[in-house]
Amino acid sequence: MSSHPQSESSSTRIEEEHCDNLKMEELDVAVLKKVNSVEEVVGWKQISSEDVILRRILSFCSFQEQSSMELVNKQWRKCVNVEGFVLENNKKNIEKFDSELFPKLLARHGSNLKSFKVTASYWEQKNTKLITPQILVQLSKYCPDLEELHIPMCHNLTESDINPLRGLTKLNKLEKLDLSGCNLTDDHLKSLTGLRNIRELNLSINRYVSDLGIKYLFQASDSLIGSKIEALDLSFTSVSDNSLLCLRSLTNLKQLHLMQSSISPKCLSQLLTSEGGPTIEKLNLLNCTNITSLNFLKNYCKLRALMVSFSQKDQRSINDDIDFIEKQTSLKELVLVEVNLLNSPLLEAISKLSQLDTLSLRCKRIELKSKQLPDLLSKLTNLKKLDILCEQVDPIEEGILDIISRIPELEAVSVQCHRRAKAINLLDEILGKLSLSKMGHALKHFSVQVPGYTLGESGFRFLSKCSNLEALDAPIGDNIRVSAETRFNNLKSLQIQQVTPSKAISQSTFDSLIKSTNGKLEKLSCHQFPTIARLGARSRDYEWQG
């Protein structure tokens, strides 16, 4: 962004083009002085001063960018009012992160900061030591109004003898706290007991957190943290049934994640049915080896979301579970993994869940009549997200993608299989027919991973007509045509899967594809593509994974 006056020609060009698609971060305040009114430029109706305009522009900038811009002049310093910090898994951003400069930035802007998020990967954080106990102390000192703190996978926090969480004790307004994968112990959790406003707490992937730590949090006489908790994640920790007993006092708890834990059906049933206890609406029991049947939930009808594994089940247990699923008519989200056999009884039970908007299935085999899968799933008229992974099934022959034509309001579709498809051309024929209709207008996320399949011209034409598409993950080769009219104006994430070398996407096709995103692309992932030598002029605008 420049701060110098623009030429008259620039002003004229902006007026002539009406700036319908002008991005805020590209708008220069100096240009606005040369037009008759702000409304003529971008149609804003309630802007009366340059300060208001400048604040809106700066709101699109990151914490670091705004901190730099305040040095331009006094007017810019007055307009900087950053409320969120995000450290992404982006090499460019990580290299710019300076643990010595950061406290100075917090001292200047911390009073406005309400959100602090780290999304960098575990390996990036381990190698660079991005977040330290000292950083958390600085956050507590300079950011008294912080409401969200997400620092997952900050494994290096516990390398010193200092309790890394002691710096959080003063963050009394904190509502969302994510400490997953931070290598915490039970003693570390003592520092959290005074956080009375916590609504969402994520302690997953901390194997040294056990029943004792949960007791510190929710049973200690001086603990305040449990009074407002609505969502709790204890997945991949060492908690057992004793921890469930501690959760009875969490009367506001609605979401409970216990993935890969050793809890028993008996104690979980006691928690769910305890008088005056929590009303759990979302329950995650994936990979809980002691949960071999869902029969213990048969008298509990308050679930809105259920995630469960179907592994290690005998036929009697499977039949009982099918009966249970059929009666959960209030379910809006269902995730079933490790399903050995997806057959008619199970699918018919699922098809009766009329309120379901999210369905995820992980199955090894499908035993259904021809086209029975799309016929039954099409009964789920409220379905918005469909995610199916088949290990030994040809998803094209089963007609999985026919669902798009049956449920036009689908927003997300993900289809994966480990078996090479026999009729790979059939998939493009299906998508080609859809491109001639109005199907796909609601589609935002599309992912297909089928061995041997490459997105063809018909499939690409269909996706290019999905005007709301935000994420695309597909094998794209050089057999597509990206014309000047092709537009992916809302595409933010693009993952191009590897295809055979003879069909690999060329540099020119790749450049045209990137250009069609109109500068909105934020994440680009291309693995093992020797044909792509450069990223193009706009590579600075998105995260690159190659």
Query: What pLDDT is attached to residue 28?
Result: 33
Cβ neighbours of residue 90 closer than 8 Å, sequence gap 6 or more: 120, 543
Query: What pLDDT is attached to residue 541?
Result: 45
Extract the tokens encoding 303. Answer: 């679930």
Q: Other CB atoms closer than 10 Å to residue 500's CB: what's the count?
A: 10
Average pLDDT over residues 320-344: 91
**Could you tell me how many helices (H) and strands (E) the chain has, helices first?**
20, 18
Pairing of strands 148-150, 385-390: unpaired
Question: Which residue has 């954080």 as its token pair?
Answer: 125
User: Percent of the chain at pLDDT above 90?
Assistant: 33
Q: Which of the 8 DSSP states describes residue 250? A: -
Q: Which of 197, 202, 151, 150 is nearest to 175 (CA)?
A: 197
Query: What pLDDT is attached to residue 176?
Result: 97
Residues 408, 381: Cα–Cα separation, whole Å? 9
Which has more confidence, 260 or 371?
260
Low-confidence winner among 89-98, 236-245, 459-468 (lowest mean pLDDT): 89-98
pLDDT-derived band at 351, boundaries 50, 70, 90 = very high
For residue range 293-328, what is the model confidence (pLDDT) as tens digits? 898 998 898 999 999 998 766 777 888 889 999 999
Q: Has residue 396 been placed in a domain?
A: no
Q: How many domains does the chain have?
A: 1
Low-confidence winner among 147-156, 181-190, 431-440 (lowest mean pLDDT): 431-440
Q: Has residue 5 been placed in a domain?
A: yes
Q: Do residues 340 and 349 lie in contact, with contact meaning Cβ atoms separated by under 8 Å?
A: no
Q: Which of 357, 336, 354 is nearest to 346 (CA)?
A: 336
Q: Do residues 506 and 530 lie in contact, with contact meaning Cβ atoms separated by under 8 Å?
A: no
Query: What pLDDT is attached to residue 283?
Result: 97
- Checking if the pLDDT of 25 tops 70, the result is no
Pairing of strands 543-545, 385-390: unpaired
Query: What pLDDT is attached to residue 251?
Result: 94
Q: Has residue 124 been placed in a domain?
A: no
Q: Has residue 33 been placed in a domain?
A: yes
Quick one: angle between helices 344-351 and 315-327, nearest 10? 20
Cβ neighbours of residue 437 closer than 8 Å, sequence gap 6 or more: 405
Residues 129, 121: Cα–Cα separation, whole Å? 11
Domain that residue 55 falls in: 1-60
Q: Has residue 53 been placed in a domain?
A: yes
* CA within 13 Å, CB half, 298: 10
Which has more confidence, 93 or 166?
166
Q: Has residue 530 been placed in a domain?
A: no
Return the sign of the alpha-carbon dihedral for residues 376, 378, 384, 387.
positive
Strand partners, 473: 447, 495
- The letter for the amino acid at 433 is K
Q: Do residues 238 and 213 lie in contact, with contact meaning Cβ atoms separated by under 8 Å?
A: no
Q: Do residues 287 and 312 lie in contact, with contact meaning Cβ atoms separated by under 8 Å?
A: no
Ramachandran quadrant class, 480 (left: phi over 0; alpha: psi -120 to 50; beta: rest):
beta
**Which of 5-19, 40-54, 372-386 reaches the highest mean pLDDT?**
372-386
For residue range 442-461, what is the model confidence (pLDDT) as tens digits? 999 999 887 777 788 888 88
Average pLDDT over residues 243-267: 95
Question: Which residue has 């190659």 as its token pair?
Answer: 546
Q: Which of 86, 15, 26 is nearest to 57 (CA)?
A: 26
